[in-house]
Amino acid sequence: MERLIVEGGKRLNGEIDVHGAKNSSLPILAASLLYGGQTVLKNCPKLSDVDAAIKILTYLGCTVEREGDTVIINSDHIAQTEIPENLMHEMRSSIVFLGAIISRMGKATLSFPGGCELGPRPIDLHISSLQKLGVDIVEEYGKLCCQATNGLKGCKINLSFPSVGATENILLASVMSKGETIILNAAQEPEIIDLANYLNQRGARIKGAGKSTIVIEGVEKLNSVEYSVMPDRIVAITYLCGAAITGGDVLVNHINTDDIESVLPILEQAGCKLSVYSNKINISGPSIIRPVKNIRTMPYPGFPTDAQAPIMAMLTVASGTSMFVENIFESRYKHVGELTRMGADIKVEGKVAVVEGVKKLYGASVEATDLRGGAALVIAALAAQGVSKINHIYHIDRGYETIEEQFNKLGAKIIRE
């Protein structure tokens, strides 16, 4: 099993480019199934989750080739409507294929997506939304058997929670349905806008993506398109945290700084100096990180839950007490135990985590528990005194392109073995 060996104490300096967004590439890859034709997807990151999505597309009947960071999909011949168990378990978010397969083939069978490291991942909002659009869904033996017997018909859907995945599934199922679909309380994440932009460039009629009400006018056909994936805002935040905790000076390129508006004030409260441009940020970390009193994770445009672990890692060495409230996922503090092994002082009580800053972290042997929790361990190891060994780095590879190479470009000393 691969692991990362990190020699701490190196100040990060220099320039780094952010790769394409995992959480935008995945729904767009699913959307390439719609209608047929060719999608040339540029700035598509080289990640294991993307590889898993490509495996699913190929299994369903698409031809998919990758040339560097461009993935070319032809979905003229779809032969399957079922995603096999093994492929479903490779990537929890494969639930987003459901809407696309039903829209294209009129039926779909998926095994219930397993829970993941963040706790149970219910899909009740996905199911109820698709049922409203005219999909009959039967759950048997752990499988979801879906059939749009009389086709998909537009309707009004009010989401009780602005679920990102459910919003994406509704978009994918409604772009070619009959009539108009209105989503109320839709997720407003930038990845929703990216998916809608891709679909509209193919001829879909989606208005309001990025707001809480989205209106979709069903169309009869979609054309082929060349599209470039938005930059990954969480990877950008991760790099910024690495620069902050090491007191470094780093220019992070290729990001839409509007997408991380809610995180910049936290970095400034922590003592970082930021020079913010529309598509890059220069960050100078302080000699001592300052605590941040209260960080609540919220749906976009609030503080993103995916940034909770990386920001927490940065605050473990603050000169005081910081507090987090994790409002999105049930158990998203699995990284706390591992950070504690490095000398962090963190107490978790339900949704709340209280981080007492310590003077120093110490290198230790730790295990990545999930994608962003794993990234948090890398951030902590960059500043720790001595050498850290980070195991189970397959979690990290799901969402970061060769994280060690990126940080080494800035002067870190990380070896993958």
Q: Give the catalytic positions in this structure.
A: 116
Instruction: Give dist(CA 358, CA 375) in Å, integer.
Output: 20
- Give the H or E element holding residue 377: helix 371-383
Using the contact rule CB under 6 A, the part of the chain among 124-132, 204-212, 269-277, 381-389 near ligand EPZ is: 124-132
Quote the Cα angle for 360-361-365, to 5°: 160
My answer on whether omega of the bond before 301 falls inside 30° of 0, hence cis, is yes
Q: How many CB atoms lie within 10 A of CB 334?
A: 18
Under 8 Å between Cβ of 42 and 31: no
Element (H, E) at 243: helix 233-245
Instruction: Please state the closest distance from residue 298 (CB atom) to ligand EPZ, in A.
Output: 10
SS3 259: helix
Which C-beta is closer to ligand EPZ: that of 171 or that of 364? 171
The residue (of 49 and 289) whose beta carbon lies closer to ligand EPZ is 49
Distance of closest approach, residue 116 Cβ to ligand EPZ, in angstroms:
8
Binding to ligand EPZ in span 358-417, by CB under 6 A: 371-372, 399
**Residue 123 interacting with ligand EPZ (CB under 6 A):** yes
Nearer to ligand EPZ, 162 or 363 (CB): 162
By CB under 6 A, tell whether 159 contacts ligand EPZ.
no
Stretch that binds ligand EPZ, among 97-105, 120-128, 133-141, 277-285 (CB under 6 A): 120-128
Hey, what are 356's tokens? 């007492």
Which of 10/305 has CB closer to ligand EPZ? 305
* Least Å from the CB of residue 96 to ligand EPZ: 7
Are 89 and 114 in contact by the 8 Å Cβ rule? The answer is yes
Residue 122 in the binding site for ligand EPZ (CB under 6 A): yes
| Residue 1: HSE in the Cβ half-sphere, 13 Å Cα cutoff | 9
- Minimum Å gap between C-beta 115 and ligand EPZ is 9
Q: How far apart are CA 400 and CA 197, in angstroms?
A: 24
Binding status of residue 281 toward ligand EPZ by CB under 6 A = no
Whichever of 196 and 317 has its CB closer to ligand EPZ, that residue is 196
Per rule CB under 6 A, is residue 209 in the interface with ligand EPZ? no
Nearest one of 389, 331, 345 to 365, comparing CA atoms: 389
Residues that bind ligand EPZ (CB under 6 A): 22-23, 26, 93, 121-126, 161, 163-166, 187, 189, 305-306, 328-329, 371-372, 399
